[in-house]
Amino acid sequence: MKEVSKLMGYRPEIKVLDATLRDGGLVNDFRFTDEFIKDLYKANVKAGVDYMELGYRASKEMFDVDKFGKLKFCDEDYLRELFGDNNTPLKLGIMADVGRCDYQNDIINKSDSAIDLVRVATYIHQMPAALHMIEDAANKGYEVTCNIMAVSNAKESEIKIALDLLGQSPVDVIYLVDSYGSLYPEEIARLSYTYMEAADKYGKQIGIHAHNNQQLAFANTIEAVGDGVNWLDATYAEMGRGAGNCGMELLLGFLRNPKFNVYPVIQFIEKHIDNIKQDGAKWGYDLQYLMTGMLNQHPRTAIAFTKDNRHDYAEFYTEVVAQD
């Protein structure tokens, strides 16, 4: 059982990362207004959030710039327009997916860049490419994190090898990622233990990125906090792919460090979230996400179910069970 005192005190090492634009961008193809982005930035500064993930730096060879909002690509010029020199304690980050970005050309040196942090996202079988991206970003002067996605489908032995490889790389933070929203807190506890062992051995930090398919994104995040995980991803109003993420409003309500303040988060949600939903962005817990989460499947079928405005949940259940 965790100590009572831990719920009363706080760990100054904890970093909160706002992933609203990046994970949320997946549900509206990054079509955010500049007002939305700037208000979110201000809210994060006021709320004491440590990092703000802005979007991807996707390859323009692979993705059509006309089909997405600007944060799919996060051009340096556009970021300067939005944030100037960012003279705040809030650090800015982008995600770079293995195999979907031209990092060697598109990620410039940090000294010339508007961003501070590069987040490399990889499946476990893509580790060699991920390590190359991590070295590239670290050599260019960035803080670097690595998300090993979909670990609920990986073997413990593979995870340990990946952690050893990352431990020997220049990455700063290794993320435990529940891409399918299928992990229970007990499993998070066990995985956190494995990740923390590697972190202690190699002097790295561990982060957590949770999904809400089973209404466990917040619970899994605070389980990880109790296990020693220091980097915590959250999004405003849980905005994110499929069932969404751990709510920033829930997380800041839990953390005891007086530097965090939930009120600007509430103000932002009141002003913007209903509007963006009316514009067609859909996310959040619903039965279809529970089903794919429960069965440890990629949420793509549930996302299609949502997009098609289907409500035949029972039929969908027979479909996903058949795919199992």
Instruction: Pick the binder of its own copies from 152, 250, 261, 319 (CB under 8 A).
Output: 250
Tokens of 133: 């991206």
For residues 5 and 10, give the distance between their C-alpha atoms in angstroms, rounded to a whole number.
Answer: 9
Binding to its own copies (CB under 8 A) within 252-311 occurs at: 253-254, 262-263, 266-267, 269-270, 274, 287, 290-291, 294, 311
- Binding mask 132-171 toward its own copies (x if CB under 8 A, else -) reads ----------------------------------------
Contact between 233 and 209 under an 8 Å Cβ cutoff? The reply is yes
Rounded to a whole number of angstroms, the minimum distance from the CB of residue 245 to its own copies is 11
Considering the complex, state which of residue 129 and residue 294 has its C-beta at the smaller distance from its own copies: 294
Q: What angle do CA 191, 97, 309 make, to 5 degrees?
A: 85
Contact between 151 and 159 under an 8 Å Cβ cutoff? The reply is yes
Q: Is 66 helix (H, G, I), strand (E, B) or coil?
A: helix
CA-based R_g, the chain, Å? 19
Q: What angle do CA 13, 210, 173 make, to 5 degrees?
A: 40
Tokens of 127: 């580790």
Q: Report the Cα 301 to chain-centroid distance in Å.
A: 21
Instruction: Pick the binder of its own copies from 214, 230, 292, 297 (CB under 8 A).
Output: 214
Q: Around Cβ 16, how many Cβ atoms within 10 Å?
A: 23
- Identify which range of 49-57, 75-83, 131-139, 219-227 contacts its own copies by CB under 8 A: 219-227
Rounded to a whole number of angstroms, the minimum distance from the CB of residue 201 to its own copies is 19
For residues 55 and 18, give the distance between their C-alpha atoms in angstroms, rounded to a whole number.
Answer: 11
- Identify which range of 82-90, 114-122, 134-142, 220-228 contacts its own copies by CB under 8 A: 220-228
The number of residues that bind its own copies (CB under 8 A) is: 44
Q: Is 97 helix (H, G, I), strand (E, B) or coil?
A: strand
Q: Around Cβ 251, how many Cβ atoms within 10 Å?
A: 26
Rounded to a whole number of angstroms, the minimum distance from the CB of residue 186 to its own copies is 5
Considering the complex, state which of residue 63 and residue 254 has its C-beta at the smaller distance from its own copies: 254
23 part of the interface to its own copies, by CB under 8 A: no
Contact between 98 and 119 under an 8 Å Cβ cutoff? The reply is no
DSSP letter at 122 equals E
Instruction: Pick the binder of its own copies from 96, 249, 297, 299 (CB under 8 A).
Output: 249
- Binding mask 171-200 toward its own copies (x if CB under 8 A, else -) reads -------------xxxx-xx--x-------
Rounded to a whole number of angstroms, the minimum distance from the CB of residue 128 to its own copies is 30
- Identify which range of 99-107, 113-121, 133-141, 209-217 contacts its own copies by CB under 8 A: 209-217
Task: List Cα–Cα distances, 153 to 59, 175, 194, 301, in angstroms.
Answer: 27, 15, 16, 17
For residues 83 and 228, give the distance between their C-alpha atoms in angstroms, rounded to a whole number.
Answer: 33
- Binding mask 40-69 toward its own copies (x if CB under 8 A, else -) reads ------------------------------
- Give residues in contact with its own copies (CB under 8 A): 1-2, 4, 6-7, 184-187, 189-190, 193, 212, 214-220, 222-223, 226, 247, 249-250, 253-254, 262-263, 266-267, 269-270, 274, 287, 290-291, 294, 311-314, 317
